[in-house]
Chain A
Amino acid sequence: MLVDTSECIGCKACEVACKQWNQNEARINQEPGTYQSHPELDAQTWTVIKFIEREDANGAPQWLMQKHNCMHCTEAGCVTACPTDALHYNDYGLVTLDKQSCIGCGYCEPACPFDAVHVDKTPFNQKAQKAGKCTMCFDRISSAMQPACVKTCPTDCIKYGDRAQLIAWAHERVDQLHEMGYANANVYGEHEVGGLHELYVLLESPEVYGLPVAPQLSKRLKLWKYGVQPVGKAILGATLFGLIVNFVVARKAFKGHDGDHDHDDGGAPVPPEGAAAEADHASMHD
């Protein structure tokens, strides 16, 4: 996906389409003194247009509008931080959340360089305690439809398609913008954290939009995911393995101890035949 912010008119149609398609609830949460609808994304608000008010080099007012949502990083901090693999990469390379596996730990929040994933700890819903973020309308694109925001954008400033083609288009557009006098126009997302699956054509440098410049997946996070977690899991696994070994050995030992009886009564610990037969019977009716 690509957002050409130079053509975004801040109409918020994408916000509405996102909510409606994903059946997320409305959260009336506007701060006073701004056109921006929500101060930040939340677990039910996956797309927000940011309104940035400033002056350009000549002192003329500048009002930048930037569609903000999950950037679907190639090396995603949230995926790295997620202890249950609820956040993972899907076949399209998109960062996907499996709500069933999400335990609401919130490790993903600080791990995201774009502040795009949130766990619902707001006063709106105390029960949910699950993360929520843009899915790039996985349910639509897997059925050959465009994401809801792309479909609804009245100026067609949100584009969806092959990433390499979008990158080529973005560079052409930036060249055009330079010619038109937008000297600071640039492409964002081509290389950041392994390359983003949401790209921007920006009119000003990324800092102006509050976007991280050259964000990196922190080494500690990587260590956590690829060092500590496997070790932890290995330890957990080893523990389990030990327990099983222990169990088997113990049983063997127990069996060994009871061995003489086996020969007597034909082995009591095995389930009675009737139970097994019943189970078979039940499965036939499934």
Chain B
Amino acid sequence: MTTSFWDIPNADVIVFMGSNAAENHPIGFKWFMRAKQKGAKLIVVDPRFTRTASKADWWIPFRSGTDISVLGGLINYAISHNKIHRDYVIHNTNAPLLVNPNFKFDEGLFSGWDPNTKTYNQSTWSFQSGPDGQPLKDDTLQDPNSVYQQIKKIYSLYTPEMVSEISGITVADFNKFAEMVCNTGEAGKVALFAYAMGWTQSTHGVQNIRCATLLQMLLGNIGVPGGGIAALRGHANVQGATDLAVVYGDLPGYIGQPTQAHKTLKEFNDKTTPTSGYWVNKPKYVASLLKAWWGDHATKENDFAYSYLPKMGNVPYSHYDIFQSALDGTIHGLMLFGQNPAVGSANASKVQAAMAKLDWMLFADMFMNESGEFWKLDGVNPAEIKTEVFMLPACGPLEKAGSFTNSTRLIQWKHQAIAPLGESRSDGWIVNELGKRLQKLYANSTAKKDEGIKYLTWSYDVPGKPDEYDHEKVLKEMNGYDVKTGKQLANFGLLKDDGSTAAGIWIYTGVFTEEGNKADSRRRDAPNRREGWAEAKADGSAKYLHLDYAFAWPANRRVLYNRASSDPAGKSWGKVPLVWWDAAAGKWTGVDVPDMLPVAPDKVHEATGVPGSSAFIMKPWGMGGIWGPLADGPVPVHYEPIESPVKNALYKQMTNPAARRFNSEFDKLGTPDQFPYVVTTYRLTEHQTSGAMTRTIPFLAEAFARPFVEISRELAQEKGIKNGEWVQVESARGKVKVQAMVTNRLRPYKIAGKLVHQIGLPIHWAPKSGLVQGDIVNSLSPEVLDPTAHIQESKAFLGNISKTTPRGVN
């Protein structure tokens, strides 16, 4: 998230949309409650009345998957009611830039669409530039080609009536909501948007988030105290995993993965390094990464071992592509660490079938689960399965040291509490051993292709303790060091592209310096309890961001883009200051680590071309991307989910044309005549994803024992279903038996004159693992993906429901 949990109490309005923070982020939720105590209005926009809604000021129910219609409606409201923060927008965003005059948007399609390749040629989405290479702009925002006028035109269709027709929110409610949110366009007033899987699990997931970002920039709400976009991450360490390149298109620190087109390091740097903004420094981070990985074998002469890096082909390698490839027979082996995709991934039956096609699978986990024993699932004949499965017992989080990076980019170290039970070992130990044994296997190879493995820096052992593995050594390497002196580096500003520095992930530099492990720097008066709380103060004296508590990347900064908390001249425009220009000292200062280059507000930073009046230093010219090309468009527009009960009321183009679909026998799609109800899936506080960990623990198994489907009283009456009765929920891909939970926490919507029912299913139960069991809900969800993030649309698809006999009884 752009902000910090400790900053949330400074918000005036908090919108939970696609987030059920009370249930899924209960530890962080106290900061939202604190904001409420201080007078903030909490609004939950969600198809379900959740535990978050129960603590909010207002619940606005709406149909799953129609977020962009609502957010676009807010943008239209802000523009048409003159609520935007004009000064902020002109200085900090690319709204004044002029877009290529050939850009077109018509009936849901942007110019450049190629129906054959199902991709966009983005050449008409570019900015106009002058003879000096600088972009053309109009600070009056009046030029019809300006980004501002383009979005004004696009969102002018998103009237309150249209929002209502698509989402089911009444016009009166929407207007009231829009006024509350858009009033924060005034300087000093702040809204915060919190989202999680409700936005990401969609075929336009990244655009859902972009749409909120766009609105927040127009209202001047990013980088200011209490503002921003709170991306509440889906697991304890998913931020850390993303930072360390769990997403296939990245190298650690969001460097991007070279493709086969990038033959040399120079080519990779030249083609992927922008000419303005802080990313001009990218070659330093790439060279340091290569030095960290291949040490002395990475030299200037051999391009710092760039050739050892695997290069991407022109195909996607996402989570779902792995299983599709296994099904196709192009992937033969799979290593699963701490996950249960046979239950937790969309279209779970396909995942199970793909596993059966593998030659071998390594399964490392705390408990046995359905993925480790997919060959024991109902309807599977083990005799027909050739996959050899290796089970390695992995220890639990308390049995190993290491770090978690949480939603607010805070890297927190934890110590081992108890020794691993039995023969179990940490995942790190398993991977360390794997690396060592691979290096042994390749030790005598003379093949060029094996050098990447042979020469990999790999020394994480604890001397004399073969059963252990040194987690701190890994963090030290990630932080980086001076190659000559071996000293730990203090910040990423010290990284060089000449091979004199090494750093495994540049954004983490500063976490483990010569002073020690900053992730482990925790005071007794920790800010987690009331005793440790501090309030932001108008004179900027309060250290409410707790800079000495653990380490937040980058550079221990708690609020990203915090320079935006000051006006163009560097004077704070909020009620509490965050970062400001100290004219006397000639530098940026504040209660946070300033997110700004060392340049005066009226000057331009030479190396990056970022003016001192612009806050978004990572972006070209320091301008926040209101216009931001993605695979599916330069701005977000409303598309229906792939499986939708209604037509797109705005455009002829029904769904995201760039959404990814698969064509296997498992990838059937349903239509509203057979499957009339909108289904959404979700998680509960009591369990973790597939539940293999939590359903195995007696106290958590009893905390929520029964799988269920939430249905409205209206639908229950229509179907004659009583609370607690067994029902079958079915989609085009599968069916499950669960017990009905009839509730007023869900309600039908009037969508385009039609009554649309929505039902909700938690995903935590499975048939083999744990003390309490149930059917696999993900056997219903479709494997249709967002084109950028490759995340499945499990929040909005179609299903049907009928009464049935109890589970296990035919």
User: Is B745 within 8 A of A26, CB to CB?
Assistant: no
The contact of A30 among B49, B51, B705, B742, by CB within 8 Å, is: B705
CB distance from B341 to the nearest CB of A (A): 27
Report if A28-B771 is in contact (Cβ < 8 Å); known contacts: A12-B685, A61-B745, A155-B30.
Answer: yes
The contact of A11 among B49, B685, B699, B741, by CB within 8 Å, is: B685
Report if A60-B59 is in contact (Cβ < 8 Å); known contacts: A26-B699, A155-B33.
Answer: yes
Report if A9-B23 is in contact (Cβ < 8 Å); known contacts: A62-B54, A156-B30, A176-B37.
Answer: yes
Of A14-22, A83-91, A244-252, the one touching chain B: A14-22
Closest residue on chain A to residue B22 by CB atoms: A9
CB distance from A153 to the nearest CB of B (A): 9
Residues of B within 8 Å of A181, CB to CB, are: 57
Report if A9-B51 is in contact (Cβ < 8 Å); known contacts: A60-B59, A156-B529.
Answer: yes
A117–B580 Cα distance when bound, in Å, is: 59
User: Is A11 within 8 A of B26, CB to CB?
Assistant: yes
User: Is A33 within 8 A of B37, CB to CB?
Assistant: no
Contact with A along B500-533 (1 / 0, CB 8 A): 0000000000000000000000000000011000
User: Is A11 within 8 A of B23, CB to CB?
Assistant: yes
A-facing residues in B733-752 (Cβ within 8 Å): 739-745
Residues of B within 8 Å of A38, CB to CB, are: 702
Q: Is B154 an interface residue (CB 8 A)?
A: no
A7–B49 Cα distance when bound, in Å, is: 16
B-facing residues in A151-208 (Cβ within 8 Å): 154-156, 176, 180-181
User: Is B708 within 8 A of A63, CB to CB?
Assistant: no
User: Is A37 within 8 A of B702, CB to CB?
Assistant: yes
The contact of B701 among A26, A53, A155, A156, by CB within 8 Å, is: A26
Residues of A within 8 Å of B453, CB to CB, are: none
CB distance from A14 to the nearest CB of B (A): 11
Q: Is B70 an interface residue (CB 8 A)?
A: no
Q: Is B68 an interface residue (CB 8 A)?
A: no
Q: Is A55 an interface residue (CB 8 A)?
A: yes
Interface of A is mostly: loop
| Most chain A CB neighbours (cut-off 10 Å) among B49, B699, B724 | B699
Contact with B along A22-41 (1 / 0, CB 8 A): 00011111111111011000
A32–B699 Cα distance when bound, in Å, is: 18
CB distance from B149 to the nearest CB of A (A): 40
CB distance from B788 to the nearest CB of A (A): 33
Q: Is B141 an interface residue (CB 8 A)?
A: no
Contact with A along B100-133 (1 / 0, CB 8 A): 0000000000000000000000000000000000
Q: Is A119 an interface residue (CB 8 A)?
A: no
Closest residue on chain B to residue A6 by CB atoms: B55
CB distance from B533 to the nearest CB of A (A): 10
Residues of A within 8 Å of B724, CB to CB, are: 31-33
Closest residue on chain B to residue A65 by CB atoms: B54
A-facing residues in B7-62 (Cβ within 8 Å): 22-23, 26-27, 29-30, 33, 36-37, 49, 51-55, 57, 59
Q: Is A221 an interface residue (CB 8 A)?
A: no
B-facing residues in A52-81 (Cβ within 8 Å): 53, 55, 60-65
Q: Is B317 an interface residue (CB 8 A)?
A: no
A12–B53 Cα distance when bound, in Å, is: 17
Contact with A along B428-465 (1 / 0, CB 8 A): 00000000000000000000000000000000000000
Q: Is B723 an interface residue (CB 8 A)?
A: yes
Residues of A within 8 Å of B742, CB to CB, are: 33
Q: Is A10 an interface residue (CB 8 A)?
A: yes
User: Is A55 within 8 A of B744, CB to CB?
Assistant: yes
User: Is A33 within 8 A of B699, CB to CB?
Assistant: no
A-facing residues in B688-719 (Cβ within 8 Å): 698-706, 708
A33–B716 Cα distance when bound, in Å, is: 12
User: Is B33 within 8 A of A7, CB to CB?
Assistant: yes
Q: Is B772 an interface residue (CB 8 A)?
A: yes
Q: Is A137 an interface residue (CB 8 A)?
A: no
User: Is B530 within 8 A of A32, CB to CB?
Assistant: no
User: Is A28 within 8 A of B701, CB to CB?
Assistant: yes
User: Is B26 within 8 A of A9, CB to CB?
Assistant: yes
User: Is B708 within 8 A of A53, CB to CB?
Assistant: no
The contact of B54 among A34, A55, A63, A156, by CB within 8 Å, is: A63
Residues of B within 8 Å of A7, CB to CB, are: 33, 55
A6–B53 Cα distance when bound, in Å, is: 12
A24–B39 Cα distance when bound, in Å, is: 41
Closest residue on chain A to residue B746 by CB atoms: A61
A19–B701 Cα distance when bound, in Å, is: 12
Report if A154-B30 is in contact (Cβ < 8 Å); known contacts: A26-B698, A62-B54, A63-B745.
Answer: yes
Residues of B within 8 Å of A61, CB to CB, are: 49, 53, 59, 744-745
User: Is B740 within 8 A of A30, CB to CB?
Assistant: no
A20–B54 Cα distance when bound, in Å, is: 28
CB distance from A171 to the nearest CB of B (A): 16
CB distance from B83 to the nearest CB of A (A): 25
Report if A9-B702 is in contact (Cβ < 8 Å); known contacts: A32-B723, A32-B724, A155-B26.
Answer: no
Closest residue on chain A to residue B39 by CB atoms: A180
Closest residue on chain B to residue A30 by CB atoms: B705
CB distance from A201 to the nearest CB of B (A): 13
User: Is B706 within 8 A of A30, CB to CB?
Assistant: yes
CB distance from A20 to the nearest CB of B (A): 6
A279–B259 Cα distance when bound, in Å, is: 93
The contact of A33 among B49, B54, B703, B708, by CB within 8 Å, is: B708
Residues of A within 8 Å of B745, CB to CB, are: 53, 61, 63
Residues of A within 8 Å of B699, CB to CB, are: 15-16, 19-20, 26
Excluding A16-B703, A37-B703, 19 further A-B contacts by CB distance (< 8 Å) are A9-B51, A10-B685, A11-B686, A12-B703, A12-B704, A25-B698, A28-B698, A32-B706, A33-B708, A53-B745, A61-B49, A61-B53, A61-B744, A61-B745, A63-B53, A154-B26, A155-B26, A156-B530, A180-B36
In the assembled complex, 22 residue pairs joining A and B whose CB atoms fall closer than 8 Å, in A order, are A6-B55, A9-B29, A9-B54, A9-B55, A11-B23, A16-B700, A19-B699, A26-B698, A30-B702, A30-B705, A32-B708, A32-B740, A37-B686, A37-B703, A53-B744, A61-B53, A61-B59, A63-B51, A63-B745, A64-B54, A65-B54, A154-B27
In the A-B complex, the 7 residue pairs with the closest CB atoms: A26-B698, A32-B724, A33-B723, A33-B724, A63-B54, A30-B705, A9-B22
A interface residues (Cβ-Cβ under 8 A, vs B):
6-7, 9-13, 15-16, 19-20, 25-35, 37-38, 53, 55, 60-65, 154-156, 176, 180-181
